[in-house]
């Protein structure tokens, strides 16, 4: 029998408000800072912080700590605690949450810690890395035996009945998300057009990098919004100078989920390459980059563009952004073959579309199926508005509906007035 599986790695779906309200129903004095840390630290590791909170509800009896662990230990998952032993203590809420997220990360992923993260989980090295990618895999590992031995003859039997340590966590999580609707706010994607204003970037054959990056960024935005109903913001949408730190700060302040910086290369080479911050290739940031890079290269290779590879660099916008970030170097402005492509608006549009498609895929967005409205339907109606024969914008959404007699009469009267030179209403 197949046992359903829920990955530990993934984006949180429950909001801070939903989590806090759920816990406070049972424990009114719950400190929401704990839930906030689960979401923040979880996002950093690509671990489901919202489900990890459910694990802590299970471990701490709704953060009321009736067992061996005391609240001041900031140990929300009984790390190191076994029958009478109080377990590990952590100096801050953040450290306690980080230890738990790191321990989950150890079980669910073979990758190194995200860049710049210090190890605080005292039991990290005891885990066979990546051995338990799903919450259902934690029975017999995080919790031993992780099922009721008086009820089930084996772990397998408990798994098939859906009554193990991991199932208890998932049941609590289901309760959490059932109490309030999970907000359907889509993750924010920030598109960063490199250079701008007094900073032209590289140049060649009469082209300026700052103009090409802006053209691409606007087209990528259109693709993501029109094709995927994505939530997109730009660090600049006109020819203005924006400092590198300001670009990162904008994205950080907006709470962005992904940062995509668009540049054109120069300096004697040819082709396409992508960059992530050093040390992040193996993690969530690297996984996203692989999807974006491969989607773009699939298109560019048909144009005989060289794939220069997936690289790492300590660029400011990659270093200072708090979320996953990628920087794309789209062809060389000082290479004849590349410039012939960059100067072709059709190629630029296609390139922007595949960048958008890759980013959407990396963010798990599905294409929006949009009804295609033929131009001949909109042309005539647009003309009616242009001439003032139709004024209420509501009609624009009713292209296929019949017009009531009074509306037809108004249009005819306005047309008569227009033709007889009497423009007054
Ligand atoms: Zn550049």
Burial group, residue 96, by CB count within 10 angstroms (0-12, 13-18, 19+) = buried
What confidence tens digit (pLDDT) does each residue in 54-89 have? 999 999 999 999 888 889 999 999 888 776 777 899
Q: Are 335 and 206 contacting, i.e. CB atoms less than 8 angstroms apart? A: no
Is residue 283 in a domain?
A: yes
- Structurally, the chain folds into a number of domains equal to 3
**Residue 398 pLDDT > 50, yes or no?**
yes
Give percent above pLDDT 90 in the chain.
71
**Residue 329 among the catalytic residues:** yes
Gap from CA of 202 to ligand 1 centroid (Å): 7
Gap from CA of 90 to ligand 1 centroid (Å): 43
Is residue 72 in a domain?
A: yes
Distance CA 78, CA 59 (A): 6
Nearest to 159 by CA among 140, 185, 131, 133: 140
Greater confidence, 392 or 11?
11
Q: Can you give the pLDDT at residue 260?
A: 98
Residue 184: pLDDT band (50, 70, 90) is low
Greater confidence, 27 or 371?
27
Whether 384 and 291 map to the same domain: the answer is no
Distance CA 239, CA 213 (A): 10
Whether 124 and 242 map to the same domain: the answer is no
Gap from CA of 282 to ligand 1 centroid (Å): 25
Gap from CA of 284 to ligand 1 centroid (Å): 24
Gap from CA of 213 to ligand 1 centroid (Å): 8
Whether 250 and 358 map to the same domain: the answer is yes
Nearest to 220 by CA among 312, 328, 298, 375: 328
Where b means 16+ CB within 10 Å and e means fewer, 203-228 reads bbeebbbbbbbbbbbbbbbebbeebb
Query: What residues are paired with 231 via a beta bridge?
Result: 188
How far lies 134's CA from each of 55, 109, 334, in Å? 13, 10, 49
CA 266 from chain centre, in angstroms, equals 30
Gap from CA of 192 to ligand 1 centroid (Å): 11
Q: What is the mean pLDDT of residues 110-122?
A: 92
Gap from CA of 224 to ligand 1 centroid (Å): 22
- Helices (H) then strands (E): counts for the chain: 14, 8
What confidence tens digit (pLDDT) does each residue in 155-166 have? 999 999 999 999
Q: Kindly report the average pLDDT of the chain as a whole number.
A: 90
Q: What is the mean pLDDT of residues 28-49?
A: 93
Q: Is the dihedral of CA 343, 349, 353, 356 positive or negative?
A: positive
Which domain does 237 fall in, by range?
Answer: 188-362
Is residue 6 in a domain?
A: no
Whether 253 and 305 map to the same domain: the answer is yes
Is residue 367 in a domain?
A: no
Whether 34 and 123 map to the same domain: the answer is yes
Is residue 330 in a domain?
A: yes
Q: Can you give the pLDDT at residue 284?
A: 92
Which one of 362, 383, 399 terminates a domain? 362
Q: What is the mean pLDDT of residues 329-338?
A: 97
Q: Which entry of 136, 209, 273, 329 is annotated as an active-site residue?
A: 329
Whether 91 and 174 map to the same domain: the answer is yes
Residue 157, SS3 per DSSP: helix
């Amino acid at each position: 029998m197949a046992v359903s599986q829920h990955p530990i790695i993934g984006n949180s779906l429950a909001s801070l408000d939903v989590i806090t309200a759920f816990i406070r129903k049972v424990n009114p004095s719950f400190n929401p800072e704990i839930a906030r840390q689960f979401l923040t630290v979880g996002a950093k590791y690509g671990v489901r912080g919202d489900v990890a909170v459910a694990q802590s509800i299970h471990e701490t009896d709704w953060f009321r700590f009736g067992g061996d662990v005391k609240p001041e230990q900031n140990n929300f998952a009984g790390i190191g605690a076994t029958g009478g032993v109080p377990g590990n203590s952590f100096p801050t809420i953040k450290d306690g949450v980080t230890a738990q997220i790191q321990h989950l990360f150890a079980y669910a992923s073979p990758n190194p810690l995200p860049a710049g993260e210090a190890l605080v989980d005292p039991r990290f090295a005891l885990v066979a890395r990546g051995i338990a990618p799903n919450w259902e895999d934690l029975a017999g590992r995080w919790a031993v035996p992780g099922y009721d031995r008086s009820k089930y003859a084996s772990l397998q039997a408990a798994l098939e009945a859906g009554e193990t340590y991991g199932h208890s966590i998932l049941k609590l999580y289901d309760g959490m998300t059932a109490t309030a609707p999970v907000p359907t706010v889509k993750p924010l994607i920030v598109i960063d057009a490199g250079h701008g204003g007094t900073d032209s970037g590289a140049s060649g054959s009469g082209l300026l990098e700052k103009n090409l990056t802006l053209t691409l960024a606007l087209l990528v935005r259109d693709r993501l919004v029109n094709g995927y109903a994505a939530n997109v913001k730009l660090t600049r949408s006109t020819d203005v100078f924006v400092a590198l730190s300001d670009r990162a700060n904008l994205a950080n302040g907006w709470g962005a989920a992904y940062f995509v910086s668009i540049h054109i290369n120069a300096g004697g080479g040819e082709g396409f390459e992508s960059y992530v911050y050093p040390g992040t290739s193996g993690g969530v940031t690297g996984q996203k980059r692989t999807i974006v890079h491969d989607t773009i290269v699939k298109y560019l290779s048909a144009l005989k563009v060289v794939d220069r590879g997936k690289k790492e660099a300590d660029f400011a916008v990659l270093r200072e952004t708090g979320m996953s970030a990628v920087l794309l170097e789209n062809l060389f402005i000082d290479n004849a073959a590349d410039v012939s492509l960059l100067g072709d608006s059709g190629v630029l549009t296609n390139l922007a579309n595949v960048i958008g498609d890759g980013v959407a895929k990396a963010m798990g967005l599905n294409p929006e199926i949009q009804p295609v409205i033929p131009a001949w339907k909109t042309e005539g109606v647009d003309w009616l508005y242009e001439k003032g024969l139709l004024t209420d914008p509501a009609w624009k959404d009713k292209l296929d509906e019949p017009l009531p007699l009074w509306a037809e009469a108004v249009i005819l009267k306005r047309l008569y007035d227009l033709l007889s030179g009497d423009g007054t209403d």
